[in-house]
Amino acid sequence: MQKSYETYVENMKKLADVEFSIAVLSWDKEVNMPPKGAAFRAQQVATLSGIAHDIFTDEKFGDLLKELSEKKDTLDKVAQNNIAQSLKRYNRVNSYSTEFVVRKSEVTSAAYHAWEKAREANDFKVYEDALGKMIDICKEESELLGYADHPYDALLEEYEPGCTSKELDVLFSDVKKQLVDFSKMLSQAPQVDNSFLLTHYDKDKQWNYGLHILKHMGYDFEAGRQDLSVHPFSTSFSPEDSRVTTRIDENNFGSMTWSCIHEGGHALYEQGLPATNYGLPSGKFISLGIHESQSRLWENNVGRGLAFWKNQYPNLQKTFPENLSDADLQTFYKAINKVVPSLIRTEADEITYHFHVLIRYEIEKLLLENKLAVKDIPEAWNSKYKAYLDIDVPDDKQGVLQDIHWALGSFGYFPTYSLGSFYAAQFYQQASKDIPNLEGQIEHGDCSELLKWLRENIHTHGQNFSAQQLCKKITGEPLNFKYFMDYAKAKYSGIYQLG
């Protein structure tokens, strides 16, 4: 049996080699590739994707997984979990016929191009038919995969394994009951001024400061690098090569700063995964929600915290004296935490952001339940933005056409953004209990104990636990919105002087 398991490990490492090679090509496409390289790059990625699919769906590999699963008692717990996770994935992938895979690829390509044209024309109707076909094939996909209670669960499983729409309904019910009213209270308070963050900040100075922030967080530049890209992202080819990109806007200091910290949080997770388990579930991240918890914890709980800037702000003022000399620490702290409803999800603050996610989640469920026609999506979108954010959507481009996710068939993806913030608040609360004077350490420029805590409690486990199991193991209870709400009230009541 040990020999069979070793064969499984070799196969998974081979698969990882191919998949990470695709990741390298994709990173290069965003960072370095010249425009004329696009066609052949697409061909190269398609070829490698086919090879990866063949490796994982090979019938002999499936037989090996079943054999190991039937005799799992001869394996240790980590090995048992590796086999269980791989077999689950194998069965999911093999739920799709070749005909379905080809058809969905064609529908996705058509939907993407229709979305681009609709964005350019600022007209949802250009996209309507193609999106309808995408929604139909996602409904078909949920039936192929199977589900217990709701078709949404089958699609959600791809991004947040083990999570259900019932659990999300509870969380977003709390968002509606508590966060909406709190946001309205903030909107009625005197607004903070962040205009000095929107003046000219030299590009090279911003770049160097971003590198400084990453080093301060504990990002290992011997196992990663930062580059520029149109859309900031992080990617990993192994725990010893995890990269980030950022975007610099010379008239918006926050654009570079928060993308560096956010993507750095993602990369720290990847650098903390056990390299000895390369290619195996025990060497991979748990879910997108847990991955997002790492970026949100660093970005918001740490990077938008007062303790962090008590240490960093004097250096920042020296770097940009012409911008910040007249702004004291409290003024800066309030400015970087300004809360104001906005049209665009990616530009939202950490409070109103969750209304953007809630709106998309509600619309996705209605579509899968056949309770909302495709032609009526813009009307539903606009009415929900008015209800939750008190914003009038002026046009389709700034409204229903702002995200690419639906064009790619990524139904079930959006909730992971909010899950990340909610997990982050609960994890940070526990870290504050476990690490003596955590805020004091951060105030004195030491983030090492926090990173060590994250390594030991989250990163090192790979997929040995589900997201909820891990949350309960760390904090003693499942995910609870209470921790995010407590964090938000404590922080923003002070900033907006709610009393």
Known catalytic residues?
263
Extract the tokens encoding 472. Answer: 């309960």
Q: Which amino acid is at 269?
A: Y
Extract the tokens encoding 365. Answer: 């469920």
Extract the tokens encoding 460. Answer: 């090192």
Extract the tokens encoding 195. Answer: 């205009």
Name the 3-class secondary structure at 368.
helix
**Cβ(342)–Cβ(350) below 8 Å:** no
Under 8 Å CB-to-CB from 3, ≥6 apart: which residues? Answer: none
Q: What is the DSSP letter of 270?
A: H
Bridge partners (DSSP) of residue 249 are 252
Extract the tokens encoding 197. Answer: 């963050």
Give the C-alpha distances (Å, rounded to integers) separating 197 from 46, 320, 326, 439: 43, 11, 12, 25
| Buried b or exposed e, range 365-404, using 16+ CB within 10 angstroms | bebbeeebebeebbebbbebbeebbebebeebbebbbbbe
Residue whose C-alpha is closest to residue 151's, from 400, 366, 372: 366
